[in-house]
A and B are shown apart, each in its own frame.
Chain A
Amino acid sequence: MNGSIEEVFAKKKRLKIMTHVVAGYPDLETSQNLILAMAEAGADMIEVQIPFTDPLADGPTIMAANHKALQNGLTPKLCLKMIEEIRDEVKLPLLFMTYANLAYTLGLERFVSESAACGVSGLIIPDLPFDERGYDDYYFWLKECNLVGIQVLSAGLSLSRLKKILKRAEGFIYITLRVGVTGARNGMEIKSVDFIDRVKAYTDLPLAAGFGISSVEQITNLIGKVDMAVVGSHLINLFNSGGKENVQNFIKETNQAIEQVS
C-alpha cells in the first residue's frame, strides 16, 4: 500500500505537514484535485473530512465548508468513492476525519471496513471518546482492518485519563494548540505547549499539533516540539482567496522554511 504512517515519521524532514480537505468543498471534483495538488506540493499526510451537518469541533470556516459540501449533495459514499479513485495516485497516507453519527449510522463495522477498502490509513472521530459505548467495537474493527484510530487530545486532560488513552493510541497523537474549535488564529496557548511536554513524557508515539495555525512562522515554531503540523482552516481560506495554487504555494513555502530552520 502507499506510504504508511510510520514511513512518514521515519522521514528525515524535521517537521511533517498534514493538510486538511473537506470532501466535496467546493465540489467533489475540486476537492479531489485539491488532494492531488497538496500531495504534489509536498504535504506529508492528508486528512479528508467527511462532511456532517453538525460538526461540533469545527469553527466557522470548516463548518461553512461542511454545509456547502452537503448542499452540493455530498454523501459519505461519494466521498469514499472519490478517495478510491485517486488512492493509487496519491503516494502518501490519507486519513478520514468525521463525526460519530455518520459512522454510527452506516454501522461501525461497515464504516471502518469500507474506509479501509478505499485505501485510507486511519480514522479520526473526535466525538467518539475511548470510554463511551461503541468505542470498543470501533477499536475492534480498526484492528481487524489494519487502520489506526487517531486520538485528538487537548490541555486540561487529567493524567489518569491521558494514561488510559495512550494505552489505546496508535499512529500518532494529535494535540490541539488551543482549547477551542478549529479555525485560523494567531499563536498557541501556553497551557497547550505545557501539555505537549506532558504527553511526550508518557508516549513514544509521534506528536502532531494543529488548531489555529495560520502562518509559516507558527509552523516553524513547532520544530523540535512536535513531529507534524496540521493545517486546516487556513488552507480553506487560502483556497477561497486564491484557489489551489495559493494552497500549493503555502505548502511549498512552509517546507522551504522548515528546511532552512533545520
Chain B
Amino acid sequence: MEQKRKKRSKTAGENRYFGDYGGRYVPEMLVPALEELSGAYFHYRESQEFQNELEHLRKNYAGRPTPLYFAENLTRLGRGCKIYLKLESLCQTGAHKINNALGQALLARKMGKTCLVAETGAGQHGLATAAVAARFGLKSRIFMGEVDIKRQYPNVFFMKTMGAEIVPVRDGTKTLKDAVNAALKYWIEHLEDTHYLLGSAVGPFPYPLMVRDFQSVIGREVKAQLRAYENRLPDVLVACVGGGSNSIGLFYPFLEDKNVKLYGVEAGGLGPGQGENARRLGENPRKGIVQGYKSYFILDDEGQVQPTHSISAGLDYAGLGPELAYLHDAGRICFDQVTDVEALTAFKTLCQTEGIIPALESAHAVAYALKIAVEFSGRQIMVVNISGRGDKDLFVAAKELDGEGWLRFLKEEANGERIN
C-alpha cells in the first residue's frame, strides 16, 4: 500500500482526482493557467533548493515547528485520553494558513508573478497572504465577503496595514464561497501577472493537492514531536473542517497508520435547518461540481448552492475539499458536527483551563475533543489541532460572552468618550 501510494504521487501530475472527487472543472480559459501552475508546482516540489528555502522561512519567519502541548487541565476535564494541542495559533499571523501562503508565494515568485489574489473568510488566509506579499514585495488583493468583513474586522485592519487591498464582496451569501468566486473571476482577468493564492484544500486541481502538501507540515511535526515525547503514534486526531486545509494537513501523514482514528468537525451552526449550518456531510449529503471541483456541497434538489451559517467565518463554506470527500467515502475519516453554542463554550473553556485563546473555528475541534475524550482510556493519546488564535474573534466572542461590558465599551469608543 505504502508503495502504491508513492507511485501514485509521482504521477500525480496526471491524476487530478481523489477517487471520483476533485478534477479541474473550469472554463477552458483557466486551463492554461492551471496547467502552468501544476507544471511549476511539480517541478519545484522536487527541487531541494525550493524545499530548503521554504524550510528556512517556516522556521525563521512562520515560527515553526509550532508546539505540541500536553494540555493537562483539559485532559482532566475530558476524563478520558491524554489531550495534546497542536498550536498552529502560534504561527506568524496566528493560524495554519501561513504554511500554505508561504509555499504558494514562493512558487508565485518562481513563476514570475508580481501580484497575489486571495479569498478569505475568517481573514486568517487573507492576513497570511498580505503578510507574505509584504515579505516578498508582491501586491496583494484580498476578496472578502461583506458579512465576514464585519465579523472579522481585526484581521481586515491588519491586512490593510500590511498593504493589501481589501475588496468587499456583495454577491450571493456575501461570505467565503462568494469571495472564492470573486477571486477566481479576478484571476481569470489577470492571469499574466497574478497568482491566485487559494487558501484551502479546495478548488480545481492542483490546488487541493498543493495546499494539502504545504499543510502536511502540521502532521509531520506532530508525528515527530509525539515520538519524542511519548515514543508512539497518537490514537486520535481531531480537526475542524472548513474547506479542509488544517484537517488534511494534520491527517495526511497519518493516513497509512490505520490505527490512528481521524475526526473532522464541521460547523453545526444554529441547528439542522436549511441555511443554519455548514454541514456538507449531514443527513443527506449531496455531490456536485462547484468552483472547479467535484465533491460534497450544500445543494438543493436542483443543484443550486445553498446559503450556509456558522459562528466561525472560516467554517462557513458550502464545499468540502475533494480529498476529504474521498477519505470520508473510504471510511478513513469520521465527520461530525459541533454547534455555534458548543463552540463558544469550548472557546471559553480553553481560555479558562489552559490560558489559550482558540479561533472560533478551532474551538469546534476543542468542543468535539471534549465530547469524545471519555470514549478513550487514560493511556491513549488525542491530538487536537488549534488551527488559529482567537484574537480575531474579539467582536463575536465579546458580544456573546461579555454582552453588556462590550457594548458599553463600543458605545464609549464610538462617542469618543474614552480618554486614551
On A, residues with C-beta under 8 Å from B are 52-54, 56-57, 59, 63, 67, 70, 75-77, 100-102, 104-106, 126-129, 132-134, 151-154, 156-158, 161, 165, 176, 179-181
Chain B residues bordering chain A, tally (CB within 8 A)? 38
Among A59, A70, A133, A152, max chain B CB count under 10 A is at: A133
Provided the pairs A133-B17, A152-B28 are in contact, do residues A56 and B291 lie with their beta carbons within 8 angstroms?
yes
9 contacts between A and B (CB under 8 A): A54-B177, A56-B27, A100-B25, A106-B303, A126-B28, A128-B25, A128-B289, A129-B31, A134-B289
Tell me if B's interface is mostly helix, strand, loop or mixed: mixed
Task: Give every chain A residue within 8 A of B189 (Cβ-Cβ).
Answer: 179-181
Provided the pairs A52-B304, A63-B171, A127-B289 are in contact, do residues A151 and B20 lie with their beta carbons within 8 angstroms?
no
Number of A-B contacts defined by CB within 8 Å: 111
Among A53, A76, A100, A176, max chain B CB count under 10 A is at: A53
Closest 6 CB pairs of A and B: A105-B303, A154-B29, A180-B189, A156-B32, A126-B27, A53-B305
Provided the pairs A63-B171, A181-B189 are in contact, do residues A127 and B27 lie with their beta carbons within 8 angstroms?
yes
Looking at the complex, which one of B24, B297, B299 makes contact with A129 (CB distance below 8 Å)? B24
Query: Considering the chains assembled together, what is the distance between the CA atoms of A179 and B35 in angstroms?
Result: 16
Task: Give every chain A residue within 8 A of B287 (Cβ-Cβ).
Answer: 104
Task: Give every chain B residue within 8 A of A126 (Cβ-Cβ).
Answer: 27-28
B288 touches A179 (CB 8 A): no
Q: Which residue of B lies closest to A64 (CB)?
A: B171
Q: Which residue of B lies closest to A155 (CB)?
A: B29
Looking at the complex, which one of A129, A151, A181 makes contact with B185 (CB distance below 8 Å)? A181
Query: Considering the chains assembled together, what is the distance between the CA atoms of A179 and B305 in angstroms?
Result: 26
Provided the pairs A57-B27, A106-B303, A156-B32 are in contact, do residues A101 and B289 lie with their beta carbons within 8 angstroms?
yes
A54 touches B290 (CB 8 A): yes
Q: Which residue of B lies closest to A59 (CB)?
A: B185
Provided the pairs A67-B172, A105-B299 are in contact, do residues A53 and B304 lie with their beta carbons within 8 angstroms?
yes
B28 touches A153 (CB 8 A): yes
Looking at the complex, which one of B20, B23, B24, B29 makes contact with A156 (CB distance below 8 Å)? B29
Task: Give every chain B residue within 8 A of A134 (Cβ-Cβ).
Answer: 289
Query: Considering the chains assembled together, what is the distance between the CA atoms of A134 and B20 in angstroms?
Result: 10
Provided the pairs A126-B27, A179-B191 are in contact, do residues A133 and B20 lie with their beta carbons within 8 angstroms?
yes
Interface string of B3-35 (1 = CB under 8 A from A): 000000000000011001001111111011101
Task: Give every chain B residue within 8 A of A179 (Cβ-Cβ).
Answer: 29, 188-189, 191
B191 touches A156 (CB 8 A): yes
Query: Is B181 among interface residues, defined by CB-CB distance under 8 A?
Result: yes
Task: Give every chain B residue within 8 A of A176 (Cβ-Cβ).
Answer: 29
A157 touches B31 (CB 8 A): yes
Query: Is B184 among interface residues, defined by CB-CB distance under 8 A?
Result: yes
| Residues from 270 to 298 in B contacting A, C-beta threshold 8 Å | 286-292, 294, 297
Q: Which residue of A lies closest to B29 (CB)?
A: A154
| Residues from 180 to 196 in B contacting A, C-beta threshold 8 Å | 181, 184-185, 188-189, 191
Minimum C-beta distance from A93 to chain B (A): 22
Looking at the complex, which one of A54, A153, A154 makes contact with B181 (CB distance below 8 Å)? A54
Interface string of B290-334 (1 = CB under 8 A from A): 111010010101111100000000000000000000000000000
Query: Considering the chains assembled together, what is the distance between the CA atoms of A104 and B286 in angstroms?
Result: 11
Task: Give every chain B residue within 8 A of A154 (Cβ-Cβ).
Answer: 27-29
B288 touches A157 (CB 8 A): no
Minimum C-beta distance from B113 to chain A (A): 15
Looking at the complex, which one of A54, A63, A129 makes contact with B28 (CB distance below 8 Å)? A129
B292 touches A76 (CB 8 A): no
Query: Considering the chains assembled together, what is the distance between the CA atoms of A114 and B209 in angstroms?
Result: 36
Minimum C-beta distance from A230 to chain B (A): 15
Among A54, A105, A157, A176, max chain B CB count under 10 A is at: A54
Looking at the complex, which one of B29, B32, B303 makes contact with A101 (CB distance below 8 Å)? B303
Task: Give every chain A residue within 8 A of B305 (Cβ-Cβ).
Answer: 53-54, 101
Provided the pairs A127-B26, A154-B28 are in contact, do residues A56 and B289 lie with their beta carbons within 8 angstroms?
no
Task: Give every chain B residue within 8 A of A151 (Cβ-Cβ).
Answer: 28
A104 touches B289 (CB 8 A): yes
A127 touches B292 (CB 8 A): yes
Minimum C-beta distance from B31 to chain A (A): 6
B28 touches A181 (CB 8 A): no
B28 touches A76 (CB 8 A): no
With A70-B304, A133-B294, A154-B27 already in contact, 20 other A-B pairs whose C-beta atoms are closer than 8 Å: A52-B303, A53-B172, A54-B172, A54-B181, A56-B26, A56-B181, A100-B25, A101-B288, A102-B303, A102-B304, A105-B288, A105-B301, A105-B303, A127-B289, A129-B25, A152-B27, A154-B28, A156-B33, A165-B28, A181-B189
